Amino acid sequence: MEPEKVIIVFFKWLRENPSLFMPTAWQDLPKLDTEIAESADDELFPIAMTISKWCAHHELGENLKQDVAQNKKDFDDAGEPTPTTQQMLTNTTQTLRQAIEEACEKLRQLDAQKLDKGNDSK
């Protein structure tokens, strides 16, 4: 899998589909955040490998492969990078870490709501 595509698909998951990390994988996102922080922005391959390994560990590896393959045509037909995509590939670690933090917060709130609803029904 091409590193840019892995990173972009994962970024889209964080922004557009954070529930994919439920019920428990989201709790380990801070560890991924720490691992990504150790990479430089121009080290796309190590960042993509870190994401791939994390996804495989959390049983999301096949989803990642499928989404990268499914979106291959979109990537190939996309032409010039959009400002968002360009920023992602220029400031990779910072952009990913920010998206991870935002997704963690959303998922923390969702998890808390589920707990509250579970307690209300008792």
Q: Which pLDDT score is estimated for 77?
A: 52
Taking the C-alpha atoms of residue 32 and residue 51, their distance in angstroms, rounded to an integer, is 7
**Cβ-contact 79, 39 below 8 angstroms:** no
Instruction: For residue 111, tell me if it sits in a domain.
Output: yes
Q: What would the pLDDT profile of 13-58 be if each residue is shown by its tens digit?
A: 998 888 888 778 888 999 999 999 998 877 889 999 999 999 999 9
Instruction: For residue 112, tell me if it sits in a domain.
Output: yes
The range of the structural domain enclosing residue 46 comes to 3-77+91-120
How many domains does the chain contain in total?
Answer: 1
**Omega of the bond prior to 46 within 30 degrees of 0, cis?**
no
Exposure letters 42-52 (e unless 16+ CB within 10 A, then b): ebbeebbebbb
Q: What would the pLDDT profile of 31-43 be if each residue is shown by its tens digit?
A: 999 999 998 877 8
Instruction: For residue 84, tell me if it sits in a domain.
Output: no
Tell me what the pLDDT averaged over the chain comes to. Answer: 81
Give the pTM.
0.77
**Cβ-contact 18, 86 below 8 angstroms:** no
**Cβ-contact 68, 6 below 8 angstroms:** yes
Question: What backbone phi and psi angles, to 5 degrees, belong to 66?
Answer: -65, -45
Instruction: For residue 29, tell me if it sits in a domain.
Output: yes
**Cβ-contact 39, 46 below 8 angstroms:** yes
Q: Is 65 helix (H, G, I), strand (E, B) or coil?
A: helix
